[in-house]
Structure 1
Amino acid sequence: MSLGTRYNGQGDGPPGSAAGVIAVADRIRQAMETVIEGKPEVVRIALTVLLAEGHLLIEDIPGVGKTMLAKALGRAVDCSVQRIQFTPDLLPSDITGVSVYHQERHEFEFNPGPVFANIVLGDEINRASPKTQAALLECMAEMQVSVDGETRPLERPFMVVATQNPGDMEGTYPLPEAQRDRFMARISVGYPTAQAELDMIDSHSASSPLDELAAVAAAADVRSMVDHVRTIHVAPGMRRYAVDLVTATRTSRALRLGASPRATLHLVRAARAYAALEGREYVVPDDVQTLAVPVLAHRLLPSAEAQMERHTPERVVSDIVARLPIPAPH
């Protein structure tokens, strides 16, 4: 069932209304699924992060469509999009920009880097050095860039969609904890189903579906949708549920690093966006449970015992969700 048909039949409305959020999100989803076939939940999480004003990390093996997903999101929204190909020789100034001195005018002029865009596609982010990766820290956390002693704000919406290969592959640098913590969610595209792969052979044989993908929403629409998401109600019990879930990661014996307070904020913001996409004006436990793994797992570090027993952070979060009492409705 499409996002647009989940609403109670009141028709399309302005992007800042409940019906408008679903209508615009449905158009973006349909446009993206012409490129990313057979992965509706992956597309839904990407939309959730966009409306929650977060950043998305796509981690998977080469060739499964990580960059294609990021490009599809960028093309579906009529806004400024910049791509950064991360390489070992990339410098921080290649991302943030640099001031150039003009002898004729006897003054410096700032040339903005690719981070000054609404959607920034960071391809293979873990192939750059940690110093270059750190150039995104301020941008992602504070929506601003400080260069040569001057702070420049970034325009809304601002979203970093980064792809990375698994850390055990050659030529990669592990993302530091501070960098991972700034990504609201991490997803994996995974292998397509056999039927989706057959359909992909037909759709990709003559030309790339990206070439035919046109923008179906404007940046102003996304800003209005984000403003509506901020009004979604989170009951006190739901807030406590999110806090208890994150706190449980800090006391788990299977983890040597639990989730941060930023993770709690990201979980609640993502749950608001997910509820809006479902046509609700309030958050329910299913929203938090669905988002717990993509929002929390990439921030966690397993203990030595858990690594020996091959307990992944994803499994630890799923176990916590399974045993944590669900709050009573209010």
Structure 2
Amino acid sequence: MANVQGIHSFEELNDLELAIVLSLTAQQHCIVFADGSTDHLLRELQTTIGNRFAVQSATVSCTAITTVDELNESLLVIDDSYQRSPSDAGETYADSQKIELGRAHHEFPGRRHSSSPSNGLDNRTVADIVLARNIDLASESVQVQVLELLRSKRVFTRTAMHTAPSGFIMIAILSTPGGRMTKHLHDMFATSHMHEKMRTGPVQLIAPEPLRRASFMQRSDIEQLRSLAATVHMTAEVAAYLHNIVLFMRLSRYIMAGVTPTATKHLRCVAHALAPLHGLDYVPPSLVALAARMVYGHRVVLATPQTERSLQWGSDPDAVSRMLEGVTVDVVIDRVLEDTDAPL
């Protein structure tokens, strides 16, 4: 713990950097969205990954006409780790690939991509981090293929099978804050984050080299955080508190479809991953509450005056409609946390 915090001060990271660190530590996928155009958000994520993390990334922009073959090809990068040294990691991983799917234009800045290396073997692999822009706009067949990738950690092209690296994560950039993917794919993303645009001017695409090397998070740092998260202790009282939050979420009259078992698994995983980022080797109730806001924010489907459950027992529709006025997902989660007694 001391070694990781001595190199990286997590208090100084911005919101996107913290979201990426948390996802890499928990080894879970996340959703990021922002008001307005996703162009600025995509550039910030690409810059953050290139300047701060020693990982390979791929960027894919989906459209309604994206095909499965285009998606599969866009996920792959050259597996060149065997020919890189730690001293040039800052130069190696700062670049990311970008493919605009559904268009004739393909762009590969800073990295050579080929499906036919000189040795005749396809040595490509799925990138460590995949930025999936507008994935909610993709066709159902493409989203099913993404779901298969997240579940099996492998993808098939016409020539080979390619596996995802250990700790592979996908960051979905939705077209709108309220955008939703197919049901099962949406549930595969553990956390969600609303990013507010910075007001300090345009994004700096490449940080100065000395700053990049000083702030770079190496793969060993990420592995250490994962090891620390795996050894985090959760008491029986805190585990019961987490369980009660799940029960209250399922019983809330404001939530139409309840919450899934996958969400419960993600809640426990994210709570453990948050502990080392706060310098702790145990999970306090406050981190469980914080994890609940991250895990349930994109999952909760609010009840409507037509679907609220008390209507089955004769509630007045007008009274139900007035009760639901002004209720948001954040309000529902806050009420659940207020109604759940935290252990002392």
TM-score range, shorter chain: 0.7 to 0.9
Aligned to 1:119: 129
Indicate conservation of the 8 Å contact 1:91/1:132, yes or no.
Answer: yes
Aligned to 1:143: 153
TM-score normalized by the length of structure 1:
0.74
1:46 CA drift (Å): 3.3
Indicate conservation of the 8 Å contact 2:47/2:204, yes or no.
Answer: no
1:189 aligns with 2:199: no
1:321 aligns with 2:296: no
Aligned to 2:63: 87
The secondary structure found in structure 2 opposite 1:126 is helix
Aligned to 2:226: 226
TM-score normalized by the length of structure 2:
0.71
Indicate conservation of the 8 Å contact 2:36/2:176, yes or no.
Answer: no
Separation in structure 1 between the aligned mates of residue 294 and residue 162 of structure 2, nearest angstrom: 31
Indicate conservation of the 8 Å contact 2:124/2:162, yes or no.
Answer: no
Give the counterpart of 2:24 among 50, 58, 83.
50
Separation in structure 1 between the aligned mates of residue 8 and residue 137 of structure 2, nearest angstrom: 32
The secondary structure found in structure 2 opposite 1:166 is coil
Aligned to 2:107: none
Matched ranges for 1:244-255 at <5 A: 244-255=244-255
Separation in structure 1 between the aligned mates of residue 7 and residue 185 of structure 2, nearest angstrom: 31
1:191 CA drift (Å): 4.5
Aligned to 1:11: none
Q: Which digits, 9 at most, give the CA deviation of each residue in 1:137-156, with x for residues without a partner?
A: 13223433356798653112
Bigger radius of gyration, 1 or 2?
2
Aligned to 2:53: 77
The secondary structure found in structure 1 opposite 2:32 is strand
Indicate conservation of the 8 Å contact 1:97/1:110, yes or no.
Answer: no
Q: CA RMSD in A?
A: 2.9
Report the identity percentage: 20
Aligned residues: 276
The secondary structure found in structure 1 opposite 2:9 is helix
1:179 aligns with 2:182: no
The secondary structure found in structure 1 opposite 2:256 is strand
Distance 1:23 1:63, change over 3 A: farther
Separation in structure 2 between the aligned mates of residue 144 and residue 239 of structure 1, nearest angstrom: 33
Unaligned runs of 5+ in 2: 75-119, 309-320
1:41 CA drift (Å): 4.4
